[in-house]
Amino acid sequence: MGKKFEISEEKRKELLGEIKEHMKNPGPLLPILHSAQRIFGCIPLPVQKIISEYSNTTIAEINGIVTFYASFSLEPKGKHVLGVCLGTPCYVRGSQIILDAVKNELGIDVGETTKDGFITLEAIRCIGTCGMAPVMCFDNEVFGEVDVAKAKRIIKNARGK
């Protein structure tokens, strides 16, 4: 992570309120982590330490969950998330070539965010639209039968160019 992650007092209080509410129910850790992800946009170590302290859960357990599930992130994501599917049908139909072209176009690698914070690039697994392979997602919108030219158009349209 390039710059130091800072937790505002307002967001800290919001997280503590969420932890307190979720601790009233059985199995509170996942709901707490979802709240933290929503509040901060990511769950880096400083946030994990707060959760650990107030939920009586080890940082190792929290970090294991945060790094296992794709819905959680250690680093802030961009304003938009662009995912290229690497599931078998998409891969067989050229999604790796598309992913490589997108990486080149954006100047970032998988898991990274553009310098302007606009797009985070992800390699995703099957989203159940194999008949449209290869597919690419931009936020919650799915694009099928993508080729390199279409992928570049999607990025340009997103940037308003």
CATH number at residue 88: 3.40.30.10
Model's pTM, two decimal places?
0.69
- Domain of 40 in residue numbering reads as 9-68
Query: Per the domain annotation, does 1 fall within a domain?
Result: no
Same domain (yes/no): 154, 90: yes
Whether 111 and 149 share a structural domain = yes
In terms of domains, do 97 and 155 share one?
Answer: yes
Domain identity same for 39 and 98: no
Q: Given this model, what pLDDT does residue 3 score? A: 56
For residue 74, give the nearest of 28, 36, 107 by alpha carbon: 36
User: What residues contact residue 89 under an 8 Å CB cut-off, 6+ apart?
Assistant: 126, 130, 133, 134
- Total number of domains in the chain: 2
| Residue 130 DSSP one-character state | G
Same domain, 63 and 99: no
In a domain, 21, yes or no: yes
Kindly state whether residues 96 and 38 are assigned to the same domain. Answer: no
Taking the CA atoms of 44, 46, 49 and 54 in sequence, report the sign of the dihedral they define: negative
The predicted-structure confidence for 66-109, as pLDDT tens digits, reads as follows 998 877 888 888 899 999 999 999 999 999 999 999 999 999 99
Q: Read off the pLDDT of residues 53-69 as tens digits, 9 standing for 90 and up.
A: 999 999 999 999 999 88
